[in-house]
Structure 1
Amino acid sequence: MELMRAARLHIPSRTLTIEDVPRPVPGPRQVLVKVGAAGVCLSDVHLIDGTLTPAHLRGEAVTLGHEVAGTIAETGPETTGWSTGQRVVLQAGDIRDGRVLTRGVDYDGGWAEYALASADTLFELPDSIPFEQAAIIPDAVSTPWGAITTTARVRPAQAVGVWGIGGLGVHAVQLLRAVGAYPIIAVDPAPAARQRALDFGADLALDPAGPQLREQILAATGHRALEVAFDFAGVPAVREQALTALAPKGRLVLVGLTDKPLTVTDGTRFSYLQHQILGHYGSAEDAVPQLIALADGGRLDFSRSITDVLPLADAGKAVRRLHTKEGAPIRLILRP
């Protein structure tokens, strides 16, 4: 039995360790991928701190990592269309027995030397896109892309607000710029995050604690207010604040995850202005190949998104850096 290194999270104790585990063997219609790069996401941090708990995990431990890119090392029986040596990106989840499961949450992910994947969850990766940039496309880029294009259905020249300029929010700013939203108003309490938003294409970056926030948004939008607001922070106060900045028939899209209650302070105003609150999670199956094509074609550039690359052995260090925001990271990458 061959072994490999993997970063395993023991769910009952929330303990992350680097272990030697059996190297997976691909079954029917599966492939084994040699991991080239794996992203570290705030969702991984929340799994470790107990904020999130896997809903469908079998057993008490899981290899983390839902953002994965690498090279096919082995194909299983009945696997067609793929061959060893091909560069690939792995979808962040899979559908099994009618349930949507998340890689690195409900089943083993890519914080390891090798990752197992169903053949229909792979996307071919052009040589023009490095593994480090490709790995973040499923989730860090595809989740805001889905929120913008599918859930919110943002159209050109619509005024939008983005609360929370972390690993997903900063890509939302970049993608909103790409689809022609205007103006794009970023809101974050951290000065470094606000500057990052401007660097990625925001027209205005505001501090949520500012006493004139709503007035500044009205001024920037020609008194239209926001047609769409996105919560990438997953903070109840953010949601309440964003609702106050919405235009009539405006939409608030909830992307950031929280287990706290969702409240509407002024129900009469909410109904009178015909506001909507829309939940969002992940992305459709076509999101990742769309983004790969746009990056390969030069329409999108994710090189600025990679703050640092660390060895797999430093997974715990990467988690701490993301949790404490040391160095204001956009995305940290693990390389086995």
Structure 2
Amino acid sequence: MRISQVVAPRLSAIVEVPDPVPGPHQVLVEVIACGVCTSDIDVWRRGPADGGAPVRLGHEFVGRVRAAGSLSGRFDVGDIVTGLGGDGFAELVLLDADSVLPVPAGLDPVYAVGEPMADLEEALARTDPRVGDDIAVVGLGFMGLGILQLAKTRAPGRLIGVDPNPAARERALALGADLVLHPDEVDAAFPQSPLDPRPRIVLEVTGVTAGLETAGSIVRPFGTLGVVGYHHEGTARMDMRLWYKAVTVVNGFCPERPRLIRAMGDALALLASRRVSYEPLITHRFGLEGVDAAYELMDARDPALVKSVIMP
């Protein structure tokens, strides 16, 4: 099979390797599409460690079962599946059977990549949204627009999107936001007053400290701030005014695979019901030779980009 791997800073190469063979509890999947995730861009920028082996990326896969181990259970050859893990910028990917779920019938596989929506569904559920809550999403990239759609299924009062990119704000309106704002408009839109118009739940999906600061300024007293953005390494400054507002801060990351698989099942059901859709979010498609082009587009912060997928 062919697989793409990072061999130097900002440089990938395709190599031929033997087809993997599934063990008893594994499935071998022929990749149909694999999402290009922001969390991997630093690895692509840096390349392998000095003297280290090439790095294989791609963990947002959907594909067709090519072979299944003797104890893998419910999967048959030809089943369309998605799940967690794997080196997905390849023609084939080997996965643990308990990290894979079937894609609902009738759903285009390209729009059924399960891992990102599982992350978002799990993060949103932990903020405990209730019917009628005002919910704000700060950061309207791929993950922000995804969680905005998921929040819409909770029947919020107002659904608010915040982003400096006008194209992102337009997409949020098209996906059901009631109000969109540039970060510079936030203070005027939410003046502090006895009636306090600020939302009870604010979801930060930027992955940068400036986004955390904006999100912290929006959330009302006794509200909940969900930190969903991927903040990579190091530290981020905490606005201690959150303490004076008695705000609950929820870490949106989930390290437990069973919880994510449950959340993935919920997200796939929403995708199958068309209450949530990837279709407006996947803006670019590349072959296996286009991995670097996809990351370059992301690195340049092209305003036309929401999400790229690699289709071997």
The alignment's TM-score, normalised by the length of structure 2, stands at 0.89
Aligned to 1:296: 272
User: Deviations 1:57-101 (Å, cap 9, x if unpaired)?
Assistant: xx73332111111111112243322221111112x2xxxxxxxxx
Within 2, Cα distance between the matches of 1:240 and 1:65? 31
**2:23 & 2:212 partners in 1: Cα distance?**
44
How much identity, in percent, do the aligned residues show?
29
Pick aligned residue for 1:196 from 162, 165, 171 = 171
Give the letter for the 2:273 counterpart. G
Query: CA RMSD, aligned part only?
Result: 2.4
| Letter of the structure 2 residue corresponding to residue 31 of structure 1 | V
Report the residue type matching 1:312 in the other structure: L
1:15-34 superposed matches below 5 A: 15-34=11-30
Give the Cα–Cα distance (whole angstroms) in 2 for the partners of residues 242 and 307 of structure 1: 27
State whether residues 236 and 260 of structure 1, in contact with CA within 8 Å, keep that contact through their aligned partners in structure 2: no
Once the two structures are superposed, residues 96-124 of structure 1 have per-residue CA deviations (whole angstroms, 9 ceiling, x without a partner) of: xxxxxxx2xxxx42110000001111111
1:9 maps to 2:2: no
Tell me which moved more, 37-46 or 187-196. Answer: 37-46
Q: Are 1:61 and 2:61 matched, yes or no?
A: no
Cα distance in 2 for partners of 1:50, 1:239 equals: 26
Match of 1:253 in 2: 226
Structure 2: gaps (5+ residues)? none
> Per the alignment, do residues 238 and 319 of structure 1 end up closer, same or farther by CA in structure 2, a change over 3 Å counting?
same
Q: Is the 8 A contact 1:41 1:167 kept in 2?
A: no
SS of corresponding position for 1:45: helix
> Following TM superposition, by how much is the alpha carbon of 1:50 offset from its aligned partner in structure 2, in angstroms?
4.3
Q: For 1:159-203, what per-residue CA distance to the aligned partner results, in whole angstroms no more than 9, with x for missing partners?
A: 121111111001111111111122111111111111111111111
Q: Which residue of structure 1 aligns with residue 211 of structure 2? A: 238
Return the letter of the residue paired with 1:76. G
Q: 1:43 to 1:270 in 2, by over 3 A?
A: closer
Shift of 1:13: 5.0
Give the AA of the match of 1:122.
Answer: V
Contact conserved, 1:225 with 1:245, CA < 8 A, in 2?
Answer: yes
- TM-score, normalization: structure 1? 0.83
In 2: Cα distance, 1:50 partner to 1:227 partner: 39
Structure 2 residue identity aligned to 1:305: L
Question: Does the residue aligned with 2:183 lie in a helix, a strand or coil?
Answer: coil
Stretch deviating more after TM superposition (241-250 or 41-50): 41-50
Count of matched residue positions in the alignment of Structure 1 and Structure 2: 304
Cα separation, 1, equivalents of 2:183 and 2:65:
45
Verify: 1:276 aligned to 2:273, yes or no.
no
Query: Residues of 2 paired with 1:64 and 1:122: CA distance?
Result: 18
Amino acid at match of 1:183: R
Question: Which runs of 5 or more structure 1 residues have no equivalent in the other structure?
Answer: 93-102
Read off the aligned partner of 1:289 and give its amino acid letter: G
Distance 1:316 1:145 in 2: 29
1:84 is the counterpart of 2:57:
no
Instruction: Name the CA shift for 1:330/1:27 in 2 (closer, same or farther; >3 Å).
Output: same
